[in-house]
Amino acid sequence: MTTQILSVEESATVHAPDPVVSAEPYASAEAIPARHTPTLVTVIPSTSRRRGVPRWIRRPVGPLLLLLLWQIASWSGSTSTELLASPWTVVTTFGDLVSSGDLPKAIAVSLRRAGTGLLLGGSIGIFLALVAGLFRLGEDLIDASVQMIRTVPFVGLIPLFIIWFGIGETPKIGLVAFGVAFPLYLNTYAGIRNVDSSLVEAARTVGLSRLGLIRHVILPGALPNVLVGFRYALGIAWLALIFAEQVNANRGIGQLLNDAQEFQRTDIIVVCLVVYAFLGLTVDAFVRLLERVLLSWRPAFSGA
Amino acid sequence: MATSLQRSVTTLDGQDGTPLAVGVRNLRRAFGDHTVIENLDLDVPTGQFVALLGASGCGKSTLLRILADLDTEFSGDVRVASRRAVAFQAPRLLPWKRVWRNVVLGLPGRPDKTHAVAALEEVGLAHRANAWPKTLSGGEAQRASLARALVRDPELMLLDEPFGALDALTRIKAQSLVEQLWQRHNPAILLVTHDVEESLLLADRVLIMKDGVIAHSVDVTLPRPRNVSDPQFVALRAELLTWLGVGDGDGVGDDPHQATPAAGRIPPQDAQESLPKRTIHS
């Protein structure tokens, strides 16, 4: 390809502008190409444009550099280890917490709470969205109430939940469920209402019944939105869990955090935060996998 | 879904005794104060290929939507064949169902792949049966949509500018495909179009819709496959253009498809063996 362009470039320079001809540009047919010599640029195919270092190596460089800076700051004493433990201390503390079994146990408890809350709140949210999205009567009865309740910050419900459910597992699961129900409701409802009406018409002309229409057209059409709602819901589930576990919890990551705060163990706090971050990432990766399987019909825009 | 249509009627005969696929009397449809269709009568005998021409906004698509039972806010007497299928300008395939599942969508019983593939075979798309609709080209998607209509073995096919979104070359192929399918299965066809030449190439009868009624009807008795450079064709074309209020009658140059060479039209591949002797209804 490159050689081709070069040869064009050569031939172009052969037809260098002739001063006599260019003075009278429209005099003859031969005069026109000689008038102006374009400057040729070589267009490089994107395959050879890529730099040598692959992307999966380049991407972690930024975070690793940050970690290194943090470690250097701790060593040099410019940040007090009382206020923020060094990365290395965090790593050793992580090792200790894992070998003592405290951390795995806490993670298991927290995961179960998040999972149960998600399942409960998610089913309620999606069920309400189906009723409101598919039936005019359902919309009239449900939508206004849900829109009203969703403006209540769920953290504000903690005192009420403690009065209602005590300090056991129920208020924690309840808070997660309350938090996740709304993003799932809103997105599922919007997904159902935004299904392409031309597809619904086409499905009607092939004789689909109302039930068939819901099953073959409306629900699959709403699925991309449901999955977006699911991702929001997962983020909120972790948030709700942190709040819930810091109130009267005797197990779970939140309780570990609370104890660490009392003993000023910044290393444990950082370990817990990192664990939250990794759990969040793992779950998000799971949803993305789910999207890839369920929405395989969609030619995805993978980013320019 | 056909709640607004009279299901009790089994047959309806036209003036010459041919059973009708469409019988419309005194149809009226208004959007608010704006009346689109007023006192419209229309008969389409079974097996006849009818093209409905008209400027945009003249109500031709509204009429087709009424016949497809997608628009029920009308008054008048509308009777249409119970087995009917629609193909729209956009293919309207469900993007989350593979092509063959789109084709058999809505058929009673379990989705039968061999049935779908047979229909796709007819439109030359069997090799794409397992593809996702979004990976099809415009012409392929439109052919899949024709297969979806065809698989229902319709007595009436309603085509709403099905070639409108196709490029010129693909359109020529798609037009001859529709002609071929019509000759093989012989449903009544109502083709809504704004392309005069297309209507003359395909239809037995061309109707011009104007001011909410059928203003003019032309029987096209030219032998098939038709040739755009045939003097009779040219004369008919000029007549229709005059009725549409375009051009001064010679018509040359005001239709982008004028330049289409007649030799470029692909004749039906198996016209010899499957072409039934057709009588042109008038």
* ipTM of the complex in this document: 0.77
Distance, in Å, from the CA atom of B48 to the CA atom of B280, rounded to the nearest integer, reads 8
Assigned domain for B78 exists: yes
- pLDDT number for residue B30: 92
- CA B65 to chain A, closest CA, distance in angstroms equals 10
- Residue B96 is assigned to a structural domain of this protein: no
- Per-residue pLDDT at A297 exceeds 90: no
Q: How far is A201 from chain B (nearest CA, A)?
A: 7
Domains held by chain A: number: 2
> Which two structure tokens, joined as six digits, stand for A55?
């992307």
For residue B130, being part of any structural domain is answered with no
Average model confidence (pLDDT) across chain A = 84
SS3 B206: strand
Residue A159 lies in a domain: yes
Q: Are A108 and A208 within one domain?
A: yes
Euclidean distance between CA atoms B87 and A237, whole angstroms: 46
Q: Is B221 on the interface with A (CB under 8 A)?
A: no
Same domain, A127 and A55: no
Task: Write out pLDDT tens, residues B5-41.
Answer: 444 445 667 667 788 999 999 999 999 889 999 999 9
Q: Which residues of B112-130 are buried (b: 16+ CB within 10 A; e: fewer)?
A: ebeebbebbebbebbebbe
Please tell me whether residues A142 and A276 are part of one structural domain. Answer: yes
Kindly state whether residues A71 and A95 are assigned to the same domain: no
* pLDDT score of A124: 96
Instruction: With respect to residue A252, please indicate whether it lies within any of the assigned structural domains.
Output: yes
pLDDT of B195 above 60: yes
**What is the model's pLDDT at position B274?**
36
Chain B interface disruption, residue of A195, A205, A295, A296, most B CBs within 10 A: A205
pLDDT of residue A221: 94
A9-30 pLDDT per residue, tens = 444 444 544 444 444 545 455 5
Note whether residue B161 is domain-resident.
Answer: yes
Q: Indicate whether B179 pLDDT > 90.
A: yes
Residue-level pLDDT at B165: 84
Q: What is the pLDDT of residues B41-70, one digit of tens each?
A: 999 999 999 999 988 888 888 999 999 999
Instruction: Report yes or no on B118 lying in a domain.
Output: no
Q: Are residues A179 and A116 in the same domain?
A: yes
Per the CB < 8 A criterion, the answer to whether B225 and B133 are in contact is: no
Q: Are residues A245 and A279 in the same domain?
A: yes
Could you give the CA distance from residue A285 to residue B4 in angstroms, rounded to a whole number?
A: 50
Overall average pLDDT of the B113-121 stretch: 94
Residues 89-108 of B with CB under 8 A from A: 90, 92-97, 105-107
B110 CB within 8 Å of a chain A CB: no
Whether residue A206 lies within 8 A of chain B, CB to CB, comes out as yes
CB of A298 less than 8 A from some CB of B: yes
Work out the pLDDT band at A196, boundaries 50, 70, 90.
Answer: very high
Which residue range is the domain that position A250 belongs to? Answer: 89-294
Q: Collapse the DSSP code of B14 into the 3-class scheme (helix H, G, I; strand E, B; otherwise coil) and give the result.
A: coil
pLDDT at A2 > cutoff 60: no
Select the residue of B69, B106, B134 nearest A212 (Cβ to Cβ).
B106
pLDDT at B272 over 80: no
A203 touches chain B (CB under 8 A): yes
Question: B235, B234, B238, B200: which is closest to B219 by C-alpha?
Answer: B200
Instruction: Give a yes or no: residue A40 inside a domain.
Output: no
Q: What pLDDT, in 10s, does the model give residues A244-271? A: 888 777 788 888 888 888 888 889 999 9
Q: For residue A204, what is the nearest residue in chain B, using CA coordinates?
A: B1
A209 touching chain B per CB within 8 A:
yes
Asked whether residue A280 is assigned to any structural domain, the reply reads: yes
Residues on chain A touching B94 (C-beta within 8 angstroms): 199, 202-203, 216-217, 220
Domains in chain B, number: 1
CB of A218 less than 8 A from some CB of B: no
- Residue A133's nearest CA partner among A78, A83, A174, A191 is A191
Q: CA of B91, closest CA in chain A: separation in Å?
A: 9
Query: Is the residue at A271 inside a domain?
Result: yes
Of A26, A42, A75, which closes a domain? A75
Residues in chain A with CB shorter than 8 Å from the CB of B90 are 198
CB pair distance less than 8 Å for B1 and A220? no
Q: Domain check: are A97 and A68 in the same one? A: no
State the average pLDDT over residues B177-195: 94
- pLDDT at residue A34 above 80? no
For residue A96, being part of any structural domain is answered with yes
Q: Decide if B92 and A212 are in contact by the 8 Å CB cutoff.
A: no
Give the pLDDT mean for A57-67: 88
Q: Is A197 on the interface with B (CB under 8 A)?
A: no
Average pLDDT, chain B: 83
B109 in reach of chain A (CB within 8 A): no
Q: Which residue of B has its CA nearest to A223?
A: B96
Q: Under an 8 A CB cutoff, do A208 and B106 touch?
A: yes
Shared-domain flag, residues A235 and A197: yes
What pLDDT is stored for residue A12 in this prediction?
44
Contact B94 A216 (CB under 8 A): yes
How does DSSP assign B17-41, residue by residue? Answer: SPBEEEEEEEEEEEETTEEEEEEEE
Residues A118 and A263 grouped into a single domain: yes
Do A146 and A256 sit in the same domain of this protein? yes
CA distance A185 to A123: 9
Which pLDDT value is given to residue B259? Answer: 40
Write the pLDDT tens digit of every residue in A92-133.
Answer: 999 999 999 889 999 999 999 999 999 999 999 999 999 999
Secondary structure letter of residue A151 according to DSSP: T
Assigned domain for A22 exists: no
Looking at residue B72, which CATH number applies to its domain?
3.40.50.300
Does residue B110 form part of some domain? no
Question: Helices (DSSP H) in B151-230: which residue ranges?
Answer: 168-185, 196-202
pLDDT of B250 above 60: no
* Residue B100 is assigned to a structural domain of this protein: no
Residues A112, A225 within the same domain = yes
Q: Which domain holds residue B181?
A: 20-83+154-269
pLDDT recorded at residue A30:
53
The answer to whether B38 contacts chain A (CB < 8 Å) is: no
We report the CATH number of the domain holding residue A105 as 1.10.3720.10
Predicted confidence (pLDDT) at residue B280 exceeds the cutoff of 70: no
Output the pLDDT for position A4: 45
Q: Confirm if B9 and A212 have CB atoms less than 8 A apart.
A: no
Would the CB atoms of A206 and B88 count as touching at under 8 Å?
no
| Side-chain half-sphere CA neighbours of B63 within 13 A | 37
| Angle formed at CA B192 by CA B186 and CA B196, multiple of 5 degrees | 100
Q: CA-to-CA distance for B110 and B129, rounded, in angstroms? A: 17
Q: Decide if A1 is inside a domain.
A: no
Of B70, B95, B132, the CB nearest to A205: B70
Cis status of the peptide bond prior to B225, with omega within 30 of 0: yes
Cα nearest neighbour of A220 on chain B: B96
User: How large is the average pLDDT for residues B85-111?
Assistant: 92
pLDDT at A26: 52
State yes or no: pLDDT of B129 exceeds 90. yes
Distance of residue B135 Cα from the nearest chain A Cα, in angstroms: 8
Q: What is the mean pLDDT of residues B146-162?
A: 93
What percent of chain A lies above the pLDDT cut of 90? Answer: 42
Question: Are A167 and A56 in the same domain?
Answer: no
